[in-house]
Amino acid sequence: MDHLSASQINLYLLCGLKYKFQYVDNLPKPFKSSALAFGSVFHSTLSWIHNQRMSGKDVPRETLYRIFDADWYCQKADTDIRYKEGEKELTLSLLGKEMLELYLLEPQKELKGSEVHFSVPLMHPATKEKLGIDLEGFFDLIEADDTITEFKTTAQTMNQGDVDGHIQLSAYGYAFEKLFQKPAKGFKIVNFVKKKKPKIEVFETERTAVRYEEFFFLAKEVFKGIQSKTFIPHTGYWCGDCEYGAVCPLWKHLKQPEKKAVEKECATPY
């Protein structure tokens, strides 16, 4: 193991067993949740918009929709998509386009980079203790003034507390400082809420040295857990979307009403 990403850290903290199924055992995924597929299509379409804008080009609606539809098609061709009860592909597709329209109405910022890859050594910011592995990932968007923007598509609204403690933003801020040898100017989460009447929420936050120390501590404990093969399952509403439910000892024997009860009783995920 030579690297960790913020999403691997989040997954380990959410459910250690799911982390093991995905990253240690490399089990095939029999399906993809509609939420994951939608998020992936939406992100790649946003990235296309940003690249167009950075090249000084327009964003013709017809092309934009074609790109969105083509990405949906690729998702379907790749694997089975599992929709939620009452959810339809067409409704999701229309919702996605409505959300893209809303985004195009937002004030435009000057941009520095879209989907920017990073790989930096994981090191305690004060003591310089090294973990011996890299932190890897992608910045969704870096604005010209060095603001890091992360895009989310969620069914629920977020709040400022979620954003202030967001592990991904701490990881990105840490990586930005290592890559560019200066702190990010600011941090933003743009959350697209997938309601019947969709909306965009924009949250701004900041990161201090203390947050980077917390992040290093988390990464170190997760790394120790993985190295010692500690993979503890954690049930909650996320189990309903888990691709490994059929092999999970805590999930596979439950009847539908029991599954519904677990999903209701969950704690908030990371």
Answer yes or no whether residue 125 interacts with ligand SF4 by CB under 6 A: no
Answer yes or no whether residue 17 interacts with ligand SF4 by CB under 6 A: yes
Largest CA distance in the chain: 55
Q: In terms of C-beta density within 10 A (0-12 exposed, 13-18 middle, 19 or more buried), how is residue 241 classed?
A: middle
Answer yes or no whether residue 242 interacts with ligand SF4 by CB under 6 A: yes
Count of positions on this chain that bind ligand SF4 (CB under 6 A)? 14
Whichever of 136 and 243 has its CB closer to ligand SF4, that residue is 243
Answer yes or no whether residue 113 interacts with ligand SF4 by CB under 6 A: no
Q: Find all residues with CB under 8 Å of 15, minimum gap 6, and list them.
A: 233, 234, 235, 236, 238, 239, 242
Beta strands in 55-206 (DSSP E): 81-82, 111-123, 130-143, 147-154, 186-193, 199-205
First to last CA, the chain: 23
The only residue of 18, 50, 152, 188 in contact with ligand SF4, by rule CB under 6 A: 18
Answer yes or no whether residue 11 interacts with ligand SF4 by CB under 6 A: no
**Which string of x and - marks every residue 192-231 that binds ligand SF4 (by CB under 6 A)?**
----------------------------------------
Whichever of 125 and 240 has its CB closer to ligand SF4, that residue is 240
Counting DSSP H helices and E strands in the chain, the numbers are: 9, 8
Positions in the binding site for ligand SF4 (CB under 6 A): 15, 17-18, 233-235, 238-239, 242, 244-245, 248, 250-251
